[in-house]
């Protein structure tokens, strides 16, 4: 289709030409990116005219626009549109370009959809001061390799239509006529998924189903259609949960289409006492509503501990997750949650949907989106055994595209949530340093460090008091504000942001070698602290312990992304750093007994014991403590009157390790350290009642008293 002459100065396609182009794309089952490289005013005027010329299209403007007749959202609201299908999206890049939101909206377009991106000329992108940069602390960077890489990828893509002041710069509105006209509809994969969901919904208990697919493969539609079939059959109540209510809109739309008699009201669809209802995950786990089946859509967007609670809380569960998606979490979900599935429900079933349902296989926009944000990046497939591992210091922006994809794929595989925004941060942060571990040419390890801290004393004081928050200084800010020590933010800190090792070469100390190399570099560079911040687990605590780091603080609330409490650890690289580690460690040790019984009552027992060992104050028990403990062990003294010496016993160096391997370690943690009541302990299955619980604690106390030389007066 040739572009007709127009009356506009730019000689850009008129609405009629774009409409005919969209029709041709729809028949071919394809979508396209239209890049408008012009002044902000000219680009906005053109885009508004295109949107208003298509009143029947499913339209959206992202950014700033004075247009009450159009749906307009900010970039941060992009996730609210997930689960919907659009025909025309205008993204105003002058208002900011957060990569996660960009990747999310690109996936909402159906066949024939156009994504119109308003930006400066591609040549200016490396120096373009994106309004989104201040949010991430990247506004101080003079160069932006991430933007340069995007521009390079777009320039090389022949399917992108670029509109500049002189007219069409590249691309074409011609679409080869397809052999078969694309018709969105059922695929064999989707029909198989519906059958599998129904079998799970009616089948044996504790055999969950895991649906995995890239975006656009019809997972949500399959959930909705299967739910409708079950509710018209043997099931009365089905609950669906997800990171947000908007994420399940397609589930309900599909259910309504299969169950037209049902009535939609608020977050539910019901008829004659049977219902499909959306319940937020926190409400689901708090209220424990009865349900014959629980559907978890976009499961990769939920922390693993919450997923495990859902898995164990209901007899029949279906988890649906995106493998290569804007969240960047799909394969991290596979790694983290599969361990839980194998342990708790070893007879779980899996199904992978590969056929796209909303566009044709090989759609140019899907390929471009994956390439721009490395959504389909994979780590090395095979690692030769016996190959020597060597560590090298590298800048990710200097890696070849293939190496960058391999390294980022490794990060994505190893971490629960690694997003397109992380890719931008890694490439653009001027304080980022990277070490790679290679086995031959294959990248088998990645360590990403960011430099932070060095705040002026007045600013550090403001941060410590909570008056200021500084972007890009996660560890410095946490130690200063939550640790109550302004000096910590004045120090130069090298923080490990991410570390990943290929599963084929784990247990070969590659992670420790990379960490040691980076720590030596930090010392040579004159840093005061070498540290990290992560979602606390016993395994990760052990890894960083081996690397020489000490725990300095544990966040009071669980992270929304990891579902774990944030643990910050560090080791001194200078005298000033050593002093901060000593002061903060001692201070948190003083808080620890009080916090365990208030803020950390649900902290995992193994982690509780390990941290208790770290934050123990070396003070031997007195003879009075020994007498009370002995009386408790022999059954003469009440538990309530023995909790003080039992807590002191827990904090004696070496005792936590002796408790941990015992079968009653969880009971000890919950009862002695975390102050659980006997009804709560019984409800959690840790004892059958007070008599049983006390007897086991007395027995364990007696064994410790017999074997440990811990008393002095």
Q: Report pLDDT for 169.
A: 86
Residue the block writes with tokens 């933010």: 489
What digits encode the pLDDT tens for the residues 459-476?
999 999 989 888 889 999
Q: Report pLDDT for 335.
A: 65
Examine the pLDDT at 712 and tell me if it is beyond 60: no
Of 628, 700, 614, the closest CA to residue 665 belongs to 700
Q: What domains can be seen in the chain, in order of their start residue?
A: 15-170 (3.40.50.11040), 188-353 (3.40.50.300), 389-590 (3.40.630.30), 613-707 (no CATH)
Share the mean pLDDT of the chain. 90
> How many residues would you count in the chain?
713
100 sits in which H/E element: helix 99-106
SS3 81: helix
Q: Per the structure block, which two tokens stand in for 349?
A: 């079933």
Q: Report pLDDT for 618.
A: 65
Share of the chain above pLDDT 70, in %: 95
Examine the pLDDT at 560 and tell me if it is beyond 80: no
Task: With beta carbons less than 8 A apart as the criterion, state whether 686 and 670 touch.
Answer: yes
Q: Per the structure block, which two tokens stand in for 418?
A: 């690694």
What digits encode the pLDDT tens for the residues 431-468?
899 999 999 889 999 999 999 999 999 999 999 998 98
Q: Per the structure block, which two tokens stand in for 490?
A: 């004045």
DSSP letters for 661-679: TSTTHHHHIIIIIS---HH
> Could you tell me the pLDDT band of residue 329, with boundaries at 50, 70 and 90?
very low
Examine the pLDDT at 330 and tell me if it is beyond 50: no
φ/ψ bin of 306: left (φ > 0), alpha (ψ from -120 to 50), beta (otherwise): alpha
Q: What mean pLDDT do residues 682-694 have?
A: 93
Of 164, 167, 172, the closest CA to residue 124 belongs to 164
Q: Report pLDDT for 68.
A: 78
Examine the pLDDT at 385 and tell me if it is beyond 80: no
Q: What mean pLDDT do residues 194-223 have?
A: 93
DSSP letters for 137-189: T-TT-S--HHHHHHHHHHHT-TT-EEEETTEEEE--S--PPPSS-------HH
What digits encode the pLDDT tens for the residues 612-626?
989 877 677 888 999
Of 569, 711, 565, the closest CA to residue 627 belongs to 711
> Could you tell me the pLDDT band of residue 713, with boundaries at 50, 70 and 90?
very low
Residue the block writes with tokens 């589930």: 251
Q: Which residues of 319-352 are buried (b: 16+ CB within 10 A; e: fewer)?
A: bbbbbbbbbbbbbbbbebbeebbeeebeebbebe
What digits encode the pLDDT tens for the residues 119-171?
999 999 999 999 999 888 888 888 899 999 999 999 999 999 999 988 888 88
Examine the pLDDT at 311 and tell me if it is beyond 90: yes
Q: What mean pLDDT do residues 708-712 have?
A: 56
Examine the pLDDT at 382 and tell me if it is beyond 80: no
User: Distance of CA 361 to CAs 356, 365, 369, 445, 655, Å?
Assistant: 6, 11, 14, 33, 60
Examine the pLDDT at 336 and tell me if it is beyond 90: no
């Amino acid at each position: 289709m040739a572009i007709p002459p127009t009356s506009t100065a730019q000689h850009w396609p008129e609405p009629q030409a774009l409409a005919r182009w969209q029709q041709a794309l729809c028949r071919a089952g394809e979508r396209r990116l239209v890049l408008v490289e012009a002044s902000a005013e000219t680009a906005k005027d053109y885009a508004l005219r295109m949107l208003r010329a298509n009143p029947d299209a499913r339209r959206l403007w992202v950014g700033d626009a004075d247009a009450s007749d159009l749906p307009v959202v900010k970039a941060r609201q992009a996730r609210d549109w997930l689960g919907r299908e659009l025909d025309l999206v205008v993204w105003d890049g002058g208002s900011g370009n957060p990569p996660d939101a960009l990747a999310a909206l690109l996936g909402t377009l159906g066949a024939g959809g156009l994504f119109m991106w308003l930006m400066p000329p591609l040549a200016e992108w490396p120096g373009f001061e994106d309004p989104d940069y201040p949010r991430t602390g990247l506004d101080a960077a003079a160069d932006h390799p991430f933007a340069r890489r995007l521009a390079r990828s777009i320039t090389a893509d022949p399917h992108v239509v670029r509109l500049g002041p002189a007219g069409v710069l590249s691309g074409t509105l011609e679409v080869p006529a397809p052999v078969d006209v694309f018709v969105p509809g059922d695929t064999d994969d989707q029909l198989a998924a519906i059958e599998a969901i129904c079998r799970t919904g009616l089948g044996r208990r504790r055999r969950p189903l895991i649906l995995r697919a890239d975006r656009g493969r019809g997972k949500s539609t399959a959930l909705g259609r299967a739910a409708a079939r079950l509710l018209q059959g043997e099931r009365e109540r089905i609950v669906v949960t997800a990171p947000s209510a908007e994420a399940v809109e397609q589930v309900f739309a599909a259910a309504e289409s299969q169950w037209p008699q049902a009535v939609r009201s608020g977050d539910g669809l019901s008829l004659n006492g049977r219902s499909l209802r959306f319940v937020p995950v926190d409400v689901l786990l708090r209220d424990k509503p009865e349900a014959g089946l629980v559907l978890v859509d976009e499961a990769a967007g939920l922390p693993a501990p919450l997923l495990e609670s859902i898995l164990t809380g209901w007899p029949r569960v279906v988890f649906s997750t995106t493998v290569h998606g804007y969240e960047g979490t799909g394969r991290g979900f596979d790694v983290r949650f599969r361990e839980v599935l194998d342990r708790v429900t070893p007879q779980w079933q899996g199904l992978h949907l590969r056929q796209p349902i909303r566009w044709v296989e090989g759609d140019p926009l899907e390929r471009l989106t994956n390439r721009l944000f490395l959504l389909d990046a994979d780590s090395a497939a095979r690692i030769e055994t016996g190959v020597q591992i060597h560590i090298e210091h590298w800048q990710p922006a200097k890696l070849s595209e293939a190496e960058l994809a391999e390294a980022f794929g490794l990060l994505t595989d190893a971490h629960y949530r690694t997003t397109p925004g992380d890719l931008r941060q890694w490439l653009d942060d001027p304080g980022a340093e990277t070490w790679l571990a290679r086995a031959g040419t294959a990248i088998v390890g990645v360590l990403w460090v960011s430099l932070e801290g060095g705040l002026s004393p007045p600013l550090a004081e403001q941060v410590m008091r909570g008056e200021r928050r500084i972007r890009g200084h996660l560890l410095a800010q946490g130690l200063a504000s939550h640790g109550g020590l302004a000096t910590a933010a004045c120090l130069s800190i090298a923080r490990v942001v991410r570390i990943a090792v290929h599963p084929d070469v784990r247990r070969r100390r590659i992670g420790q070698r990379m960490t040691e190399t980076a720590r030596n570099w930090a010392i040579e560079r004159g840093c005061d602290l070498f540290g990290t911040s992560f979602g606390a687990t016993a395994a990760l605590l052990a890894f960083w312990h081996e690397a020489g780091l000490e725990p300095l603080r544990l966040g009071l609330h669980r992270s929304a992304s990891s579902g774990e409490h944030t643990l910050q650890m560090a080791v001194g690289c200078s005298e000033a750093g050593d002093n901060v580690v000593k002061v903060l460690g001692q201070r948190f040790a003083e808080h620890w007994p009080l916090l365990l019984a208030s803020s950390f009552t649900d902290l995992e027992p193994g982690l509780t014991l390990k941290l208790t060992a770290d934050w123990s104050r070396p003070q031997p028990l007195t003879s009075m403590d020994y007498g009370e403990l002995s009386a408790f062990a022999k059954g003469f003294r009440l538990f309530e009157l023995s909790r003080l010496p039992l807590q002191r016993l827990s904090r004696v160096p070496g005792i936590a390790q002796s408790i941990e391997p015992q079968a009653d370690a969880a009971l000890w943690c919950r009862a002695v350290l975390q102050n659980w009541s006997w009804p709560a302990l019984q409800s959690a299955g840790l004892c059958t009642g007070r008599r049983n619980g006390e007897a086991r604690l007395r027995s364990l106390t007696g064994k410790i008293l017999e074997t440990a030389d811990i008393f002095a007066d």
